[in-house]
Structure 1
Amino acid sequence: MMMNLFSTFDPSTNFNMSLNWISTFLGLILIPSLFWLIPSRFSYLWMKIILMLHKEFKVLIGPINTKGNTMIFIALFSMILMNNFLGLFPYIFTSTSHMTMTLSLALPLWLTFMLFGWINHTSHMLAHLVPTGTPPILMPFMVCIETISNIIRPGTLAIRLSANMIAGHLLMTLLGNTGSYLSNLMISLLIITQILLLLLETAVSMIQAYVFAVLSTLYSSEVN
């Protein structure tokens, strides 16, 4: 009886296989793989960018209910930036150059901000329709102007991003198509011009992702 009791600790008793030793490595399997890796320079750079954006968005949103809110706009910035960068590579579709993509990002954000503001802060939203110091005779016109400017916000966000993405790519395509008709000297100048345009498009990709995220943050701060 005693031998059978202690035989349960024998690693070869279960299913005639030495599977008991696998439990030794279960702890190592459950540890995330990043634990074993030294953070790269890219990881440090990306973390610094995220922390910088968090501090800036936190100031823009305001002191009320800022816990976790900045992550929405940081994720939005990251997604747009990734798509903008991917569009710079040859034969890769630039999804942010189409209104289907940009309006799908801008419209739900604006709609949720408006619903939250009008349901929870109705008087505050009504006060936004008439700027401070407006003469009484101009108040009806200011309400119309502010209402229209508020309604077109998702459209302006979407058009700004897609138009900037289209413009640079269109210019590079038009210049590239003329290469077969040029001399060797002009082709050299064309290559230099294309490289400069590619650098400009890289900067535009970062700027437009930042502008989209910042304007979305400002629109959300108005409903608090």
Structure 2
Amino acid sequence: QMMAMHNTQGRTWSLMLVSLIIFIATTNLLGLLPHSFTPTTQLSMNLAMAIPLWAGAVIMGFRSKIKNALAHFLPQGTPTPLIPMLVIIETISLLIQPMALAVRLTANITAGHLLMHLIGSATLAMSTINLPSTLIIFTILILLTILEIAV
């Protein structure tokens, strides 16, 4: 059904993006296994995914509709003296996008796994101290695990 509404180029992008989403989801779910390594916590892995996709999208955009692609560098109604500065700012903004996306994915995955590890360690440490507190912390850990799966 998703493929029916796209042309040939859209089908190629759809297949690639669905494959990427499945790959990221499965590698992130690896982090829920005890003593396992999640590849998406490494910035190099995320940059290796972000840069080729970003470059492909930018190159395809420039190849197919160069006038529309160049129009993104200059907002409509910009005063003439600001044009050179805005073009430079928009170019830098475009070039920083893959790095920003990779850093965001790395930070989100690392923060979630770190939080789960800290609460899990606290549950084990408190298991000998107080049973009601341990059950509350364990419940929070289960809810965070469900949140990690959902996100």
Name the TM-score class by shorter chain. 0.7 to 0.9
Q: Give the number of the structure whose residues are more often helix, by fraction.
A: 2
CA shift in 2, pair 1:115/1:85, >3 Å: same
Percent identity (aligned)? 37
Is residue 77 of structure 1 aligned with residue 21 of structure 2? Answer: yes
Is residue 162 of structure 1 aligned with residue 106 of structure 2? Answer: yes
> Which stretch of structure 1 is more off in the superposition, 180-189 or 194-203?
180-189
Q: Tell me the SS of whatever aligns to 1:66.
A: helix
The count of residues paired between Structure 1 and Structure 2 equals 147
Is residue 135 of structure 1 aligned with residue 79 of structure 2? Answer: yes
What residue number does 2:145 align with?
198
State the one-letter code of the partner of 1:96. Answer: T
Deviation at 1:142, TM superposition (A): 1.5
Distance (whole Å) between structure 2 residues aligned to residue 144 and residue 203 of structure 1:
39
> Which stretch of structure 1 is more off in the superposition, 76-85 or 170-179?
170-179
Instruction: Report which of the two structures shows the higher radius of gyration computed on alpha carbons.
Output: 1
State the one-letter code of the partner of 1:78. Answer: I
State the one-letter code of the partner of 1:115. Answer: I
- Taking structure 2 as the reference length, what is the TM-score of the superposition? 0.84
Is residue 87 of structure 1 aligned with residue 26 of structure 2? Answer: no
Distance (whole Å) between structure 1 residues aligned to residue 46 and residue 66 of structure 2:
28
Q: Report which structure shows greater RCO (CA 8 Å, sep ≥6).
A: 1
Distance (whole Å) between structure 2 residues aligned to residue 67 and residue 168 of structure 1:
33
> Unmatched 5+ residue regions in structure 1?
1-50, 205-224
Matches within 5 A, 1:42-61: 51=1, 54=2, 58=6
What residue number does 1:180 align with?
125
Q: Which runs of 4+ in 1 moved over 3 A?
A: 115-124
- Taking structure 1 as the reference length, what is the TM-score of the superposition? 0.59
